[in-house]
Chain A
Amino acid sequence: MADFWNPYAALSPGQRKALGIGAVAALLLLWAGLAASGWVSSNRLPAPWDVAAALSYLTWHEGESLLATATLWSLGRLVVAGVLVVAIGIPIGIAMGAAPRINAALSPLLDPFRSAPVVALLPILVMWLGIGEAMKIAFLFIGAVVYLIPMVRDAIRAVPQSYWIGARDLGATPWECVRKAVLPMAMPRIADALIVAVSVMWTYITVAEYVNAKVGLGQLIQNARRFSAWDQVFAGIIVIIALALATYQLMLFAKRKLYPWETHQ
């Protein structure tokens, strides 16, 4: 245990897996124990096996899968909002990072939103956009883009100036320096920003579907709550967490494949 308090100690993959699985198993055991003991009423904490049953019910019941339909709808909203975040947020972030004047003009408009309660915007969005899909997508978009833009800007600014100077000396125009020297070097961190943005959207999906969703994971949870079906509420939350985790891992994997040079720096 000489390397217990050592942030640089390398764990073997086996060790890491064992510790992770162990912790999840311990939590499940604790949960099962609490539910079985009867100390906590099943109205407050559904038993793991009840949640599992609810999960199976939602996955397949009477020839339809409520879960699959809900997931597809939520995923669809997320993808549309994600495309907008990429198409609008990333260019703005790059422009702010690359041109101090643009940054000086835009950051007072954007920075406050990072600490502002985005959820409080929901009624305003309803007022402007109604209660349909546009409102939900706009909410997801705003929630994610206010994180993404400053991160993209910082990614650009974190690129050492020597690359800019070097390209300039070789005859690049200022825009070419940004486009061909600074931006490629910032891409891994921009990818990180996108991964954070997508995680943020997963956390907001239930809120986005709070108002008048006919179908979706958030709606599924809310509907279950209305009927005090806590096992289904838990099942819905677990599905969202699992999906968020899966997207995170997938994006991380894609990032490492796209920018294999990053770790060598």
Chain B
Amino acid sequence: MSASAAPLVQHAEAERRNSISIVLKDIVQEYPAPGGGATRVVGGIDLALERPGINMLLGPSGCGKSTILHMMGGVRPIGVKTPTSGSVLIDGEPCDGAHDDSVMVFQRYANRPDLSVFENVAFPFRLKLWRQRLPEGEWRDRVTQILAAVGLADKKDLRPAQLSGGQNQRVALARALVLRPRILLMDEPFGALDAQTREEMQHLLVKLYNDRPCLVVFVTHDVTEALMLGDRVIVLSAQPARIADDFVIGEPRPRSGTWQRSSEAVKLEERILNQLHKVSPGKGSLRVTV
């Protein structure tokens, strides 16, 4: 029975992940300014992300990328109305608080120093929400599978302090993906890693994405990273943030070094850099890795 039911369940799950949308409607965000009044950080953003894919969000430092990402995740800063005006719709429904369609991955991986790698990844299943959804045997299998997928099967009993930065970020990624989210929100996840480890992590992300595509929003400072990973690249302008550019990259992943040096890629890189220089002349911390 289960032999025939399993593909059906998988099919339904894939279907659910395929029909996904995040829509931002005229989003404005203001924060109280130090001297009174308000600073407009995000100045009217309309954006529709309507299918699985990797969407790169690029912009100068402090332009409001994290603010927008947190909005999509329903994570609200304390004491500030988010968004000031406009609306975030997930699957057409207004999103006004934490929701379980999305999971976030941060630059500082927020792994728990007191828990083993296995327990870090299994953490969501210690919460009522997920414990009710999955029987223990099933989530244990899932944790084991994802640990193998991120290459940490042999490290499952170690603690985060015993891992490298890259391995820690793998733990964070595994904890997010073990929930098989429809939306994955990543805030400069590889920003703190050295160039080689960052590249490894990019390959890993592509592999995991191909296993189970979902809607990824990936914030980065790194133009090369945007070109290597993005199905779509959205460039924001400096404060107040608006969409300065928005384009699609058709090249299939993994993208080779040859493609990276192709005239298409070089043109796109120039296009992004021009845009960023236009919005923040001489400012911002952009990075191009070769």
Same complex for A and B? Answer yes
Residues in chain A within 8 A of chain B (CB atoms): 162-163, 165-173, 176, 180-181, 184-185, 187, 259, 261-262, 264-265
Chain B positions 161-216 with a Cβ under 8 Å from a chain A Cβ: 161, 175, 179
Which of A163, A165, A168, A172 lies in contact with B112, CB distance below 8 A? Answer: A163
Which residues of the other chain, A, contact B108 by a CB distance below 8 angstroms?
162
- Nearest A-chain residue to B159, judged by Cβ: A261
Interface centre among A162, A259, A261 (most CB of B within 10 A): A261
> Is B73 at the interface (CB under 8 A from chain A)?
yes
Residues in chain B within 8 A of chain A (CB atoms): 73, 75, 98, 100, 102-104, 106, 108, 110, 112-114, 123-124, 126-130, 159, 161, 175, 179
- Interface residues of chain B: helix, strand, loop or mixed (majority): mixed
- Nearest A-chain residue to B111, judged by Cβ: A166
**With A165-B110, A265-B113 given, can you name 9 additional A-B contacts, CB distance below 8 Å?**
A162-B108, A163-B112, A167-B127, A169-B103, A181-B112, A261-B113, A261-B159, A261-B161, A264-B161
- Nearest B-chain residue to A181, judged by Cβ: B112
Contact B114–A171 (Cβ < 8 Å): no
Which residues of the other chain, A, contact B126 by a CB distance below 8 angstroms?
180
Contact B129–A171 (Cβ < 8 Å): yes
Contact A171–B130 (Cβ < 8 Å): yes
Interface centre among A165, A181, A264, A265 (most CB of B within 10 A): A165
Which of B98, B114, B124 lies in contact with A261, CB distance below 8 A? Answer: B114
Bound together, the chains give a CA A162 to CA B129 distance in angstroms of: 20
Bound together, the chains give a CA A176 to CA B128 distance in angstroms of: 8
Which of B114, B123, B130 lies in contact with A259, CB distance below 8 A? Answer: B114
Contact A166–B127 (Cβ < 8 Å): no
Contact A170–B124 (Cβ < 8 Å): yes
Which residues of the other chain, A, contact B128 by a CB distance below 8 angstroms?
173, 176
Q: List 13 A-B contacts (CB under 8 A).
A: A162-B108, A163-B112, A165-B75, A166-B110, A167-B127, A169-B104, A170-B175, A171-B130, A176-B128, A185-B113, A185-B114, A262-B113, A264-B159
Bound together, the chains give a CA A265 to CA B160 distance in angstroms of: 10
Contact B123–A170 (Cβ < 8 Å): yes
Which of A162, A168, A265 lies in contact with B98, CB distance below 8 A? Answer: A168
Which of B106, B124, B127, B161 lies in contact with A162, CB distance below 8 A? Answer: B106
